[in-house]
Amino acid sequence: MKNILVIIMGVGLMINPAFSQSFPDDEKAIIAVLDDFHDAAAKADKNRYLGHFTEDGVFLGTDEWERWPLHPDFTDYVAMRFENGGWSYHSEKKNINFSKDGTIAWFDETSIRNANGARFRGSGVLEKVDGTWKIAHYVLSFLVYNEIGGEVGRIITAEREKRAKN
């Protein structure tokens, strides 16, 4: 009897939406947003690309100084870069999590840059704004194997010191 009660309670917890953070329709919508975000970048479609951000969105690039508020910095940068074509990232895998009320989501995605095969990770936060998922914060990071992290760190330090002298 005790085992049956434990099983019933366990099943009840699994199917009770109050204890669940699974939002399958929203997960599909977020995947579509991120895929379209990357497609717009590949096609240098500035309005579509920037339209995926919240009004106070932020993009963090791979360079240590790159913290781009959407207005005006990132908007100006994207306009300039897209004049010569965009950039192409293809997401291999996405992990998406939700706040308890389902209005905030955070994600990470492993990507390959098609032009040179380098591997990146995109991560960030999306907010549901008037029923539409918008990127509030996006971080693009290089993926570096731990075994060569020290070497990469030394290269970065040498470059930083070189730039400080100029």
Please report the pLDDT score of residue 109 as a whole number. 95
Residue-level pLDDT at 21: 63
pLDDT at 51 exceeding the cut of 90: yes
* % of the chain with per-residue pLDDT over 90: 77
Full residue range of the structural domain in which residue 140 is found: 23-165
Residue 15 lies in a domain: no
Q: Report pLDDT digits (tens) over 4-32.
A: 444 444 444 344 444 446 799 999 999 99
Do 106 and 123 form a contact (C-beta atoms < 8 A)?
A: yes
Q: Is residue 7 part of a domain?
A: no
* Domain CATH number, residue 146: 3.10.450.50
Peptide bond into 72 cis (omega under 30): yes
User: Quick check: is 11 in a domain?
Assistant: no
Give the per-residue pLDDT at 1: 52
Whether the pLDDT of residue 162 is over 50: the answer is yes
Say if 17 falls within a structural domain. Answer: no
Residue 117 lies in a domain: yes
Average pLDDT of the residues in 138-158 = 95
In the chain, how many domains are there? 1
Q: Is residue 118 part of a domain?
A: yes
Structure tokens at 24: 């399958």
Please check whether residue 112 lies inside any domain of the structure. yes
The reply to whether 9 falls in a domain is no
Q: What pLDDT, on a 0 to 100 scale, did the predictor assign at position 83?
A: 96
